[in-house]
Amino acid sequence: MDLKRFTTRAQEAVQGAQESAVDRGNPRIELEHLFSVLLADPEALVPQILERSGVSPGDARAAFDEALSRFPQSSGDGARTDGSPELMDVLRTAEKEAKKLKDEYVSVEHLLVSLADRDNAGPAQQALEKAGATPEAPDHPWARTRRQLKSRFRPPTGS
């Protein structure tokens, strides 16, 4: 996995997930950290897609904040925060999704599709599936968004 192949927003989401885990004292960066970051900006793609699906982004944020509050915490100078195996799988799946779609960069959309993948059966995937947000739903709002935005992603800045 090469984070240089991620758009600026996708890189910021991954970095934000790491910062969230560190701020909360969590020893691992989990999918819930990433999804919470993707929900944080009400003007961003993920909250808009959920809203179009009839899901309140605020309710989703609250549910993920509650889930995050239950994660174990660690402290001390030597405390490390690493990506969970599930997070690493989602990032690799997002990269594969971008390649499959012949996109040059991994975008937030690819992260969302990867989070919704049934192979990543966790709270993030379950919340998306309950909302009807599945990668194979052709008339789902994110599929329409995907068609509208196809391959218009800009490379990361500074690359």
pLDDT for the residue numbered 152: 44
Please tell me which residue, 1 or 92, carries the higher pLDDT value: 92
Q: CA torsion 110→56→130→138, rounded to 10°?
A: -50
Average pLDDT on 138-155 reads: 49
> 154 CB contacts (<8 Å, ≥6 apart)?
7, 8, 105
81, 21 Cβ separation under 8 angstroms:
yes
Residue range 131-140: average pLDDT?
54
Q: Please tell me the predicted confidence (pLDDT) of residue 91.
A: 94
Contact 135, 116 (CB under 8 A): yes
Question: Which overall architecture, per CATH, does domain 3-149 show?
Answer: Orthogonal Bundle (1.10)
| Beta partners for residue 52, in sequence order | none
- What are the extents of the domains in the chain? 3-149
- Write the CA distances from 38 to 100, 110, 159, integer angstroms: 22, 12, 23
- Average per-residue pLDDT in the chain? 77
Q: Helix, strand or coil for residue 102?
A: coil
Contact of 16 with 40, CB cutoff 8 Å: yes
